[in-house]
Amino acid sequence: MPEIIVKQVEGITFVGRGESRHWVVMDGPEAFGGSEAGTRPMELFLMSLAGCTGADVASLLKKMRVDVDRFEIVVKGNRAEEHPKVYTKIDLEYRFYGDNLEAVKDKIEKAIELSQWKYCSVSAMIRKAEIPFSYTYKLLPRNASQ
């Protein structure tokens, strides 16, 4: 079973390390004893979702021999007003940049679907927790800015 260790630095500033042996700083606002020195845990949750599905999609597209110039994922999460301030809705938008992406649209869709419904553990946990969850994608020209 993987082991994660999280250590208090000061106040609500913590560092955590997992099997990869890389330290991650987590913190909160000064108003709650933080020092604004790291990413907030709930932000890390959304980043883990994007990182998980992003790695799947990138790997699948490589296997399918689909080249994109750039790839990014924007994640938005609505949170409950009261404690515990859990996510009540999560939306992902995959953005692919490149020329002639319409020609490989079916492969991009397949990579996203495989990630969401077969490979991404974080997506599976979100569905199991019954958090409303959606995902979309955009195919954009190589030099487009978002």
Domain locations in the chain as residue ranges: 1-39, 41-140
For residue 146, what pLDDT is reported?
Answer: 67
Fold of 41-140: GMP Synthetase; Chain A, domain 3 (3.30.300)
Which stretches in the chain have pLDDT values below 50? Answer: none
Q: Which residues contact 109 (CB under 8 A, 6 or more apart)?
A: 137
Q: Is the pTM of this model over 0.85?
A: yes
For residue 54, what pLDDT is reported?
Answer: 98
Distance of alpha carbon 51 from alpha carbon 113, whole angstroms:
16
From 17, 39, 16, select the one nearest 27 (Cα to Cα). 39
For residue 1, what pLDDT is reported?
Answer: 85
For residue 144, what pLDDT is reported?
Answer: 86
Distance of alpha carbon 118 from alpha carbon 84, whole angstroms:
29
For residue 120, what pLDDT is reported?
Answer: 98
Distance of alpha carbon 54 from alpha carbon 16, whole angstroms:
22
